[in-house]
Amino acid sequence: MKPWRLTLTNQLVIGYGLHRRMDNYATRPANEDELKDFHGDDYLEFLKRVTPHNTQEFANDLSKFNIGDDCPIFDGIWDYCSLYAGASLDAAKKLINHQSDIAINWSGGLHHAKKSEASGFCYINDIVLAILQLLRYHPRVLYIDIDVHHGDGVEQAFFSTDRVMTLSLHKYDKDNFFPGTGNWDDIGGGAGKHYALNVPLKDGIDDDSYVRLFKQIVEPVIEKYRPTAVVLQCGADSLGSDKLGCFNLNIKAHGACVEFVKGFGLPLLVLGGGGYTPRNVSRLWTYETAICLGAEIEDDLPARTPYREFFGPDYKLHPPLSKEGKYENKNTKKYLESMRVKIMEHLRFLDGAPSVQLQEIPPDLDNVRSELVKQEED
């Protein structure tokens, strides 16, 4: 999760000349009021004040806010959090203002963070904040997560509203794989019942199986829910050869999911996420940047790219990543079809796309509801 993987991504994007085909913006740090749209005051105050040198002063808060091995305290933690969150917020605003059809923030996508708790390398949930921003304008937002881990923080934030539908495809093992949530019967509650969709997968899923299932699910979800904007979390730990992942996906298969979502022509916010083999993370996000731009790029990495030595010995954009022999594909056709059928069954419970006026809005979204009412009155 260190910024090194973003440095490599940036250099590849520039090396291929992709930066010339899009608008580029400097990151603006999110202010505290913006972060309070979702996160608790005491948790934000803790993040703002804690450093590696004064952690003893906050000994009682470390366990309270789930600080530990997965979420350590490091120098500059507040700046880091406010910068990646500010980038996602501004990306959402570009979509709202019609300045962009697709907005990308590869530093975002930290989907595990909770209201007052860090989790799974995530401190601030920029995704929730960006979706809240989109809800000021858009009546319905679809969130899709293709990280190898369940997008639990985002699902939890919108668990009881139908204004946001969450769809997560991930490895699921309640006892042995983080975060141990996201089984097929995890479907939301209250007004949000059946608006949380989960596709639990087993080790070793391959390109064809994953892409086929993704398309078979995403298309009917969009047709039924009719979102007016989509947020796509593109965690790279679902690639083969990832240090923490257990799938057999290659870069083109992961990118095929991005291309499929892009094809619906909806305002699209594209975010990063997990990914723990930096050279492959940067390959993937460069390729998916090209997909968003509709650009064709060569498999040979640009010759004068800084840090090119980290991509040896092949120096290719698409090295074979499927770890055959290490992760057997345990996802049978019968199992995958059963997951597709379960999602279709959940969709049948929906009466169609919900209207804004009839929503039950959870407390965290009260500020959004107030603004929508004011817009309608105006």
Give dist(CA 143, CA 155) in Å, integer: 9
Active-site residue, from 112, 150, 170, 346: 112
Burial of 96 by CB count in 10 Å (0-12 exposed, 13-18 middle, 19+ buried)? middle
Helix H or strand E encompassing 231: strand 229-233
In the chain, % helix, strand, coil (3-state, to 5) comes to 45, 10, 45
Give dist(CA 279, CA 301) in Å, integer: 12
Enter the DSSP assignment of 196: E
Catalytic (active site) residue 112: yes
Helix (H, G, I), strand (E, B) or coil at 144: strand
Q: Annotated binding residue at 70?
A: yes
Give dist(CA 134, CA 229) in Å, integer: 8
Give dist(CA 173, CA 316) in Å, integer: 33
Q: Annotated binding residue at 237?
A: yes
Chain centroid to Cα 3, Å, comes to 17
Enter the DSSP assignment of 378: -
Burial of 86 by CB count in 10 Å (0-12 exposed, 13-18 middle, 19+ buried)? buried
CA atoms within 13 A on the CB side of 51: 6
Determine how many CB atoms are found less than 10 A away from the CB of residue 296.
Answer: 7
Residues serving a catalytic function are: 112
- Residues annotated within the binding site are 70, 120, 147, 149, 237, 276
- Residues annotated within the binding site for substrate are 70, 120, 276
